[in-house]
Chain A
Amino acid sequence: MFKPSLEDLLKSSIRSILKNKGRTVLTSLGIIIGVTSVILLTSIGNGLKKYISDQFESLGANSVFVAPGKLFNDKGGFNNNGGGQFVSTTFNLSDVALLKRNLRPNTVIPVSITTAEVRSPKITKPDIFIIGSTEQYATGVNETPSAGNGRWFTKEEYDKKDSVVVLGYTIAADLFPQSQALGKKVIIKSKNYKVVGVLDKKGSSFGGPDVDSQTFTPLDNVFGITGNNHLQRILIKTQDKSDVPDVKKEVEKILLKKYDKDAFTVFDSSQLLDSINSIISALTTGLAGIAAISLVVGGIGIMNIMLVTVSERTREIGLRKAIGAYPRAILVQFLIEAVILSCAGGFIGILFGFLGSLAINKFFPASVTLSSILIAFGVSATVGIIFGVAPARKASKLSPIEALRYE
């Protein structure tokens, strides 16, 4: 059996730490700062991920998107040579018809995107995204104005190519700062459009266009603006979430008959989400890694103070050895002190990190995860052990005769 018992060791270690309260606090500060920053950064990363996945969830989990160009690389990240915008491929309504025929009963929604100047009687906003689509687009991406803010354009309006628009929250507020946008007229390319709906505020979604500043209108109106009938997106709404993989394969098979495999990308929101998450994870890990450097610095602080403690308590060590403490008992005693110092720092750091995350959460998504707490605590305990070993070994190796003589 190991003597003294762990309980006795803990008791005497805690007592000797409490004898120097000021020193204890200062020593732990390095670890406190390190753990706090690691917890804060990982919780911001996690919050960001959760926020984005919520955003994508609102886009609709049962959506399949078709876009021109090769969007993703083989590893699942975004393709950074090429990208979506710089490809010559465009789709047209015959592609939509083809997909519709083959994908029944799933809904196929054509999307044409352009940018244009949008004017209200008093204000002009340049370079606004004009999204042309069908009446089904609203349900496809969960963008329906809430009660009192009008409605999405109807099938009739779509078929008759009526000059109606649905405005995003920001663009509506920008164009009509003083009054309600609903029912007013806006001018796009010298043509009057009636505002039939204003969307709810969505907030900017990371990695996607800002829905709040987009304008939506029946597809043919966009064709009229651009002078061609190119489609930049095809959106397929599946019957059920579980159909998504099959539909994706089917779409690819159909389009491969017409286009080269690098000319288009078929993806779903989870795929996009994975790509964004992998970027955020890398970023979070990198930042937390930088913060972890301060843990090492904190560890050196602990080692330093433990070396001082060993010097100060040389006579005590000599006495303990004389009355029967063998080297390992001394080693463990000082190691425990170092670990208590770093774990106390870790604990306070976790507390601060947690409170900090709660505070940040008011402005920015942040959520503390159990894993980040466990990792932070594990790391600080490890730091205590690693940096506590050298001073503890020094203490355990002192000769009792020399130590008792030490002035």
Chain B
Amino acid sequence: MTKLPSSKNNSQKEIVLELRDVVKTYNSGNVIFNALDHVDLKIYKGEFISITGPSGSGKSTLMHIIGLLDNPTSGQVLLDGHDISKLKETQMAQIRNVTLGFVFQQFNLLAKTSSLENATLPLLYSDVPKSKRDGIGLSMLQKVGLEDKLKNTPAQLSGGQQQRVAIARALVNNPKIILADEPTGNLDSKSGKDVMELFHHLHKKEGRTIVFVTHDLDLAKEADRIIIIKDGHITVHK
């Protein structure tokens, strides 16, 4: 089952992020709606996990909780064993900065801004000194194969290249988890394949922890472990 280089099973592996009995409730008018209904989930270090499910299943809500963009209504979110579910916005932002790397469907690169500057954007909000930022950005862009496009702006790049800049951006802070939300959704099949290759490479060769959110079950199957979410409940598939 596992594609990890080491052949440990889950019980022996280190847990990076754990959701314990997480409930997320939305109030729309008089209707109370549980987007997540008592969800438990463990994300282990170095695993490639995909989350899939139909729209309205609670997939996005789960992603926001894992991405530390939202706090649960009840339950605990443990990062390296520490409960962070009650933290304030500013603290959450700082944790996101050093813990997570985001890859979005829409790339979300800054327009008229070079690849290098886009890639190093998270370092603006980190403790990494200015003198080291460009070096880190450069090595991450090399990793995604764009070392010859440092000065190019997003408009001068193809969709696949833009997404690779975004992946470089997700890597610059050496995150514990890379959270990719439909990263191939806006790409043609060739570019999509390249991006998936890149994720596999980061997972296998660098042991990165990747959480991959998609509605496409075929793509989801490329991961070590598939989480299917439906009506706010999750089922773990192997």
Contacts and interface: CB of A to CB of B under 8 A. Distances in A.
B112 interface: yes
Interface string A1-43: 1011101100010010001000000000000000000000000
Interface in B66-113: 67, 69-70, 89-90, 93-94, 96-98, 102, 104, 106, 108, 110-113
A323 B90 contact: no
B67 A3 contact: no
A315 B169 CA distance: 16
A404 interface: yes
Contacts of B124: 3-4, 8, 12, 325
Q: Which interface class (under 10, 10 to 19, 20 to 34, 35 or more) fits B?
A: 20 to 34
A321 interface: yes
A326 B69 contact: no
B169 A323 contact: yes
A329 interface: yes
A218 B104 CA distance: 99
Interface stretch (B48-56, B125-133, B201-209): B125-133
A324 B44 CA distance: 23
Query: A interface, how many residues as a size bin?
Result: 20 to 34
A386 interface: no
Interface string A390-407: 000000000011001000
B151 interface: no
Interface string A137-157: 000000000000000000000
Nearest to A8: B124
Given A316-B110, A323-B102, A326-B89, A401 B121 contact: no
A327 interface: yes
B122 interface: yes
Contacts of A7: 130
Given A315-B106, A315-B108, A325 B125 contact: yes
B13 interface: no
9 contacts: A5-B130, A15-B112, A319-B110, A322-B67, A322-B69, A323-B96, A324-B97, A324-B173, A327-B93
Given A1-B127, A3-B126, A320-B125, 11 more contacts: A7-B130, A15-B113, A319-B104, A319-B108, A320-B121, A321-B93, A323-B121, A324-B125, A326-B89, A400-B69, A404-B104
Interface of A: 1, 3-5, 7-8, 12, 15, 19, 315-316, 318-329, 400-401, 404
